[in-house]
Structure 1
Amino acid sequence: MGTVNTIQLLKIPVVEDVRGNLGIIQSDFLPFEFKRVYYLFDVPSNAFRGGHAHIKQQEVLIALSGSFEVTVNDGTKKKRYLLNKPNVGLLIPIGIWRELENFSSGAVCLVLASDDFLEEDYIRDFDEFLISKK
């Protein structure tokens, strides 16, 4: 199980060019092989996303456009990250509660997940999450 101390900001390799930059994510970049990619967009600025933890799945969140805040909680400690650069990913290990909020206009959150969607991998109730950490 992860703790807020095991959460990492990953610097995504970028090829810079006057015609525009190119961010590169290859299989050897992440500490896991991603099986699913999804993204959040058109999120109202007052909306709240996340509000869950995973039992077995790891994820990397990237602000492809705009910005949003991610609050992570390991049941003991909380930490907040502002994601606003497309060349930085937030690696969230298993067993970490996450909440996403304060989306800017036009924000796009890309998520690279270590597994396919499985509802039974989600802990969606915070009290259950706290019990699972004991």
Structure 2
Amino acid sequence: MPEPISAAQAADEPDYGHLLRSNLERVFNEPDPARRASAIADLFVAEPILYEPADIVRGRAAISEIAGGLLDRFGPDFRFRPDGDVVGHHGLATLRWQAGPAGGPAMVTGTDAAEIVGGRIAQLWVLLDPAKP
């Protein structure tokens, strides 16, 4: 039988909720490139990898370009919003989210799954839910 996790071990876990929620708000909802770059430097390792359904993006600058491109494409009113609690342990965390016009219905939903190394996001998988008919 495995030994239970001690309180000290649990206290060593990073704040998964802060990391993944901040990624939505400070990176993917941030229109200002300089503020977005600063947030990415705070939240991500030096050489992060972002796995999108159709692409693999490497590096902080490339992740910033992806986030900025989404805002440019969908407009300044487009927002990513958490949809539930962050779940995580042992360096892996997930957060369900939805996105669409601020105050409007969700146009797209999905889940972010992140590998956390040294208290920062090292790898991030963007898992889109299938479109509803």
Q: Same fold (TM over 0.5)?
A: no
Q: Which has the higher helix share?
A: 2
Identify which of structures 1 and 2 has the higher relative contact order when contacts are C-alpha pairs closer than 8 Å and 6+ apart: 1
Q: Which has the higher strand share?
A: 1
Normalised by the length of structure 1, the TM-score is 0.29
